[in-house]
Amino acid sequence: MGGRGSNTIWGGRYKLGPAEIMERINASIGFDRRLYAQDIAGSLAHCDMLVAQGILSTKDGRAIKRGLAKVREEIEAGRFKFSTKLEDIHLNVESRLTELIGAAGGRLHTARSRNDQVALDVRLWVRDTIDRLEPMLADLQAALIDRAEEHAATIMPGFTHLQTAQPITFGHHLLAYVEMFGRDRGRLADCRARLNESPLGAAALAGSPHPIDPRKTARALGFARPMANSLDAVSDRDYVVEFIAAASLTAVHLSRLSEEIVIWCSAPFRFIALSDAFTTGSSIMPQKRNPDAAELARGKVGRIVGAFVALCTMLKGLPLTYGKDMQEDKEPLFDAADSLELGVAAMAGMVRDLEANAERMRAVAAADYSVATDLADWLVRKVGLPFREAHHVTGRLVGLAADKGVDLDKLSLAEMRAVEPRIDRSVYRVLTVEASVNARRSLGGTAPANVARAVQEARRRYLGRSR
């Protein structure tokens, strides 16, 4: 879009028709037709401004607005005939507008270039996409918060290095993702605030000699202000990169939760089950139920991060202002946004669908001496040992229990005192997974009472409601 190409619209200088390969590489209508709503919205605002400034007659303005409404109707009804010979969405719309209303259609492009036109369209499209994603991410948070409340006291193993570390609650685990997606929403909001400036009025790159009012078009389109520099206005694609960067991190969070769902659904874990709505069977093994929705959400992160790399690579060597290279921003942008929206919707569905196996979670949480740290902490509090010495004593007791093939709470008091004489019978009160999670009442800790409070705070902070 923008700049010089080989279309016959440029008139007499180009006497030869474009070669087929040039037509194919030059055309963007195959993908930028998605910008039609934004393109028409920008044209309507531009038309109103031209009329208000006396650059366009009221009669022409009415005809243009009537024609644009007809073009939009045809596109949305699937009757519009897009042409690769007209390259892009701008020329396709303008050509059809001129067919409908005559010469007035050609006057719409006064004081405007395809350079500031496409910059406007893409800004509007990214802003609209963020506005769609915001409630979707809030809905995903709501699903996680509701399940966290349901499982505030459901005990599961907490892992480091994917090895059982300490008992936690399932609700606490789910709330960790609420925080991640909250940061994602914040990054998208920051991106929206920064992109919310209108490039319209920059024309090709240097501004316009016509008495235009960029502030009027900015206000009409919901922007905070017009952009301050015409060169920056047509060349800036920071907001596309920033959006895809935010999308990439959101996708990484989706992928991490997807990975956990895949693991939790596996036979060795059996922590959760997904219904047929989010799983598929095997073509050869009838017993299988595969968590394909989670795997696909996990897999899409590659496409989104790939789009980020593609955009940075495309922009890194471009001098000011416009280069046809910038046409390559749209396909990765559209694909990344589509992939992210699908992943967010799928994850919200899986969170609401999953059924937790609380008995299995607790059994695994209680295995592998997961309360060993609680024993060490008890030795610090009750016996007064330095933590490093308490750690050593606990290690010896874990070794003894392992040799006997029993849990720590199955060691006799005499066996414990043989390692540390000051241990008394009250030690057994800290050697259960229930005692372990209930003891962790520090801010941000996993105690069920903490989780219940954190659920209410998360609803207030992220969803703006108490229930």
Active site residues: 161, 282
Query: Cα(102)–Cα(108) distance, rounded to whole angstroms?
Result: 11
Contact 261, 355 (CB under 8 A): no
CA–CA separation, 84 and 78 (whole Å): 17
What are the tokens at 407?
């849990």
Rounded Cα–Cα distance for residues 52 and 37 (Å):
23
User: Which residue's entry shows tokens 């009472």?
Assistant: 449
Handedness of CA 214, 217, 219, 221 (dihedral sign): negative
Query: Whole-angstrom Cα distance, residue 394 to residue 419?
Result: 9
Q: d(Cα 38, Cα 148) in Å, to the nearest integer?
A: 40
CA 26, CA 105: separation in Å to the nearest integer?
A: 24
Instruction: Count Cβ atoms below 10 Å from residue 48 Cβ, excluding itself.
Output: 17
The number of residues in the chain equals 467
- Sign, CA dihedral 150-153-158-164, equals negative
Instruction: Report which of 165, 342, 330 is spatially closest to residue 250, judged by C-alpha positions.
Output: 342
SS3 322: coil
Distance between CA atoms of residues 9 and 114, nearest Å: 13
Are the beta carbons of 40 and 76 closer than 8 angstroms?
no
Spatial contact of 328 and 307, defined as CB atoms under 8 Å apart: no
Measured CA to CA, the distance from residue 354 to residue 352 in angstroms comes to 6
Q: Contacts for 431-434 with beta carbons within 8 Å, 24 or more apart?
A: 431/371, 431/374, 431/375, 431/407, 432/366, 432/371, 433/155, 433/167, 433/362, 433/365, 433/366, 433/370, 433/371, 434/155
* Helix locations, 207-353, DSSP H: 214-220, 230-235, 238-265, 292-299, 301-315, 330-353
Q: What is the CA radius of gyration of the chain?
A: 31
Q: What is the largest CA-CA distance in the chain?
A: 103
| Amino acid at the residue 423 | I
